[in-house]
Amino acid sequence: MATKRLARQLGLIRRKSTAPANGNVGRSKSKQLFDYLIVIDFESTCWNDGIRHRSQEIIEFPAVLLNTSTGEIESEFHAYVQPQEYPILSEFCMELTGIKQDQVDEGVPLKICLSQFCKWIQKIQQEKKIIFATGISDISTSEVNLCAFVTWSDWDLGVCLEYECKRKQLIKPVFLNSWIDLRVTYKIFYKRKPKGLSGALEEVGIQFLGREHFGLDDSRNTALLAWKMIRDGCLMKITRSLNKVPTKRNPSILARSLNTDRVEETSACMSSVHDPSIYDREPENTIKSHQKLQMRPAGVNSPIKF
């Protein structure tokens, strides 16, 4: 009986590369730390005129909820955001992202968007019994589903949202202080440097679906890549945390604390950013290539690469 069970398990493992597993079977086979991943990919104001002093603002706020056992996207959040510091989008920005001026004009300020996002988070927490990684400790339980945020590079949560909340004196939900950088994870797991998100997808045999640099499509495709990596045996781990707690930098240590999570879930939208010192410098190699364009010195016209 044990031999027959082992044979069935091995068969399931082989089929995982082409078909999702059902229920919790996939998680037990792949030994994932997280039951769910929330993938975020902001789009922001950007220019191609060499001016360095402009501040970027989020203009599209998407998120998709990926079930790491089935590979299904079970819920989505999407909002257009009004830029208030530079309310008129550049022609370059509209051409790159496909986002039009009237769409952001009809959007909501970032403060309102964050409130709407928190309501979406609270809804999926109630429906799916989700808690978030906190960067503190690991408490194993079968009564809740652990969830982590995923971005392509540290730019979205480590730079863009951080700086904008700082400038506008907005309270940032504390659960956005920890995330998985899928670009770094991809590089370590496959032992090769990805050529952008679309290049990474192509390398693993997945065609990009939708429009590149449109945040919701980028989020969905990042989720597809994460699911492919999980099927290939990649263990998703927190790679960056802004929480001001004494934790080891080794990303193999799972950050989870039920008590802390329950407090954070209740007051997620009422807590300020823990460590304002992160605004003093930008993480290296985290800004997306199209955001780097506005940082070029005037007169430099190097080719655009994505």
95 contacts 119 by C-beta, under 8 angstroms: no
Closest CA to 224 of 248, 249, 197, 247: 197
Beta strand 178-181 with 145-151 is parallel
Give the active site residue among 43, 60, 164, 264.
Answer: 43
- CA–CA separation, 34 and 40 (whole Å): 16
Cα R_g (the chain), whole angstroms: 20
Question: Is 274 a catalytic site residue?
Answer: no
Give the active site residue among 57, 162, 213, 265.
Answer: 213
Angle between helices 215-231 and 182-190 (to 10 degrees): 30
- CA–CA separation, 122 and 126 (whole Å): 6
- CA–CA separation, 90 and 190 (whole Å): 37
DSSP-assigned letter for residue 62: E
Q: 3-class DSSP state for residue 94?
A: helix
Contacts of 247 (CB under 8 A, 6+ apart): 135, 136, 241, 253, 255
DSSP-assigned letter for residue 174: G
Question: Is 95 a catalytic site residue?
Answer: no
- CA–CA separation, 114 and 300 (whole Å): 36
Neighbours of 106 (CB within 10 A): 10
Active site residues: 43, 213
